[in-house]
Structure 1
Amino acid sequence: MNSSQDILIIGGGIIGLSLAVELKLRGASVAVLTTNSKQPTARAAAGMLAPQAERIPPSPMLDLCLQSRALYAGWVERLEEITGLKTGYWRSGILAPVCQNEFQEQQSVSNLNSQWLDRDAVRQQQLGLGEEVIGGWWYPDDAQVDNRALFRTLQAATKELQIEIVQDCAEKIIRDENRVLGVETTAGKLQADRYVLATGAWSEQLLNVPVFPRKGQMLSVCVPENCGIIQPLQTVLFGTGIYIVPRQDGRIIIGATSENVDFTSGNTAAGIQSLLAGAMQLYPELQNYPILELWWGFRPATTDELPILGASAWENLTLATGHYRNGILLAPVTAKLLADLIWNQKLDPLLAAFHYSRFPEHWGFKNGD
């Protein structure tokens, strides 16, 4: 096996496919090495685009997230035009209810569009909130996308754009001094001029990077047919340790646990019970909704909970990993900034905050040289 592509992207998740599409649209020849044998990180998400509801403090991370949120509408519109598919992008806004006995923080980013709603106003914003809700923050600019629909759309875009998809498992990155020479797979060796590591929670298996899995359990329910309305919940509810994300087709996504259990698979009774308890406190009507599905996935976390983006210690290897809770949100800005860097040799100053050198003790290849 071989490849003569300009760029080989190792990893076919949301980040890898987003970058592949962006590079292809700029004229690059691109291959994506991916495998279906691993639980996709995209499943451990609800598709919230929530830099404000997440209360990210003023920082380069907030700047990165806000830039990506601003790109989203145009980005998904282009994907939908390429494929004819829908991504479920919905500028629904996000409501962060505050319950009794919860510490009420002041607005963390005062210059952004937000509003404090008291007990009466928060119930006018969303009917059916629990009795313990005493108010809430309303973030009208935060939004959501159906992460599974987005992933399917990205897969379809790679087909439409004739991006080469190699279904195989990367076993080793081959290098000589400061350059990568190829990627050893179960079926042979792949080569390209440049490489991108975008393997999410599995990145540490190929490169000694401080990226580790953080498991998230989730479930979905659906609005009963006798409810009289397809979706009574018209905004995302973002609580303490819980979020409730309505879809326009009547599904409601509830998530997510955050567990340091390596790659331990499966849902647990305790995990699902905690999610249901938190969700029903915010929106009690959920107790009457039938459960549709339970699932889990693995977020790619780093020790400082920031992504690792941009150049690496090897001149032809670029890093796009460690997005943790914000992989869906950061897909368009990651694709834009890294395509600028790889294809146009344009380095955005914002990438400095996410450079690999902030982890000097963690660099080297796995599985030998």
Structure 2
Amino acid sequence: MNKSNNILIIGGGIIGLSIAIELKLLGAKVTVINRDFQPIATNAAAGMLAPQAEAIPPGKMLDLCLKSRTLYPEWVQKIESISGLETGYWSCGILTPVYTLKDRQNYALPNLNYQWLNQVAIHQYQSGLSPEVIGGWFYSQDAQVDSPYLYKSIIAAAKELKIDIIQGSVKEIICKKGKIQTLKTSIGELEAEHYVLATGAWSQELLPIPVFPTKGQMLSLKIPSDVSTENLPLQQVLFGNQTYIVPRKDGRIIIGATCENIGFVDGNTAAGVQQLLGNAIRLYPGLRDYEILEFWWGFRPNTPDEMPILGESNYDNLTLATGHYRNGILLAPVTGMLIADLIWNNQSDPLLTAFNYSRFMEVGSKV
């Protein structure tokens, strides 16, 4: 495309802003339109960078996740240098304790660090685990980032780069002759020469894309006042059976998350909170005495195969970047770079092929 063209990104979550920053750094004129939603997936994320701990099977999805994890240290350094704000990136590793040998799922992937710890070793490595834990895998290359810190940093970076971020909701996409003509929004009509759809769980409101919300409830605890943040009881993420426990360097403990396919139903529930606390305390019993800080929820953009929809659409001037489900934070760097390269340099990475929308399309349908 002509490098003088302007680009309008629909959606100001972590994915939309990551793409905007990469395009701006390439020289594009970029505008982001964002409706100020609290329950976006970014807010529902614990920030785990965990392709190994989540046991993603070998294939294109794992390849994409591993590539993004590799990009993360340099990417957050770039974001922090532009914004002047920390992202909370911590290469702490992730421990996956199990209660039975049937839970001992792992993919023996070459060139990746992982280690099985037996019952004696895992309790020596991490004190305070439940006596039910009989072992676990340790993935030293998995990591975490503090999602709220990252989001604040990436917004500040976008503003520092003079990316125009406007508040408003897109009501309708007007198409004609295979192209997007204009957007009808709450603040009037908007036009650009190229568009990116990065609206996460709300994508189907604008186009017939198979993206649906999966609600996630979460909560946070605080370590006891007599415990120093210099000597945290947890030094890595615990990714257990139906729970994860994510320690932050400031003493917060993030616990998540439910997976509820109930549509856009707001709020925390007694059952959801009970599930979170019950599973977390079973894994790490000492949490029962920790102070509760807050509860929240968000909506992850899920797809039928739980993989994102990335790349070209049936419209010449519309690129798709949605459906990241539980991996939006992890996939932000690689999505931003691959989509920016596709739009600006017309370079389509072979990785994108597996994530094209056409895998869901019936003959004659159009998105």
Question: 1:106 Cα shift?
Answer: 4.7
1:129 is matched by which residue type in structure 2? L
CA distance in 1: counterparts of 2:161 and 2:122, whole angstroms: 45
Instruction: Determine if contact 2:32/2:166 at 8 Å carries over to the other structure.
Output: yes
Question: 1:39 Cα shift?
Answer: 1.9
Question: 1:364 Cα shift?
Answer: 4.4
CA distance in 2: counterparts of 1:118 and 1:38, whole angstroms: 42
CA distance in 2: counterparts of 1:5 and 1:340, whole angstroms: 15
Question: 1:43 Cα shift?
Answer: 1.0
CA distance in 1: counterparts of 2:229 and 2:65, whole angstroms: 34
Residues 80, 228 of structure 1: CA spacing in aligned structure 2 closer, same or farther, 3 A cutoff?
Answer: closer
CA distance in 2: counterparts of 1:153 and 1:300, whole angstroms: 22
Residue equivalent to 2:103: 104
2:149 is matched by which residue type in structure 1? A
Cα-to-partner distance string for 1:76-104 (whole Å, 9 max, x where unaligned):
0001001110000000000000114x613
Residue equivalent to 1:128: 128
Residues 284, 196 of structure 1: CA spacing in aligned structure 2 closer, same or farther, 3 A cutoff?
Answer: same
Q: Which moved more, 1:37-46 or 1:271-280?
A: 37-46
CA distance in 2: counterparts of 1:265 and 1:58, whole angstroms: 35
Cα-to-partner distance string for 1:338-362 (whole Å, 9 max, x where unaligned):
0110001101011000001001139
CA distance in 1: counterparts of 2:163 and 2:154, whole angstroms: 11
**1:276 aligned onto 2:302:** no
**1:15 aligned onto 2:4:** no
Cα-to-partner distance string for 1:88-142 (whole Å, 9 max, x where unaligned):
0000000000114x61335313322100000111122211111100100000000
Residue equivalent to 1:356: 357
Residue equivalent to 1:346: 347
Residues 186, 364 of structure 1: CA spacing in aligned structure 2 closer, same or farther, 3 A cutoff?
Answer: farther
Cα-to-partner distance string for 1:164-208 (whole Å, 9 max, x where unaligned):
111111000111021011111012111111000000000000000
Question: 1:154 Cα shift?
Answer: 0.8
Residue equivalent to 2:155: 155
Unaligned 5+ residue runs, structure 1? none
Determine what percentage of the aligned residue pairs are the same residue: 59
Cα RMSD over matched residues? 1.4
Task: Give the 3-state SS of the residue equivalent to 1:361 in structure 2.
Answer: coil
Residue equivalent to 1:319: 320
Residue equivalent to 2:54: 54
Task: Give the 3-state SS of the residue equivalent to 1:337 in structure 2.
Answer: helix
CA distance in 1: counterparts of 2:153 and 2:222, whole angstroms: 23
Residues 27-176 of structure 1 aligned to structure 2 (within 5 Å) = 27-37=27-37, 39-100=39-100, 103-111=102-110, 112-176=112-176
Residues 203-222 of structure 1 aligned to structure 2 (within 5 Å) = 203-222=203-222
Cα-to-partner distance string for 1:287-344 (whole Å, 9 max, x where unaligned):
0100000000000000110100000010110000000000000000000100110001
CA distance in 1: counterparts of 2:342 and 2:55, whole angstroms: 29
Residues 259-298 of structure 1 aligned to structure 2 (within 5 Å) = 259-298=260-299
CA distance in 2: counterparts of 1:106 and 1:338, whole angstroms: 33
Instruction: Determine if contact 1:5/1:31 at 8 Å carries over to the other structure.
Output: no
Q: TM-score, normalised by structure 1?
A: 0.95
Unaligned 5+ residue runs, structure 2? none
Matched residue count: 361
Residue equivalent to 2:244: 243
Q: Which moved more, 1:348-357 or 1:119-128?
A: 119-128
Residues 17, 106 of structure 1: CA spacing in aligned structure 2 closer, same or farther, 3 A cutoff?
Answer: closer
2:322 is matched by which residue type in structure 1? T
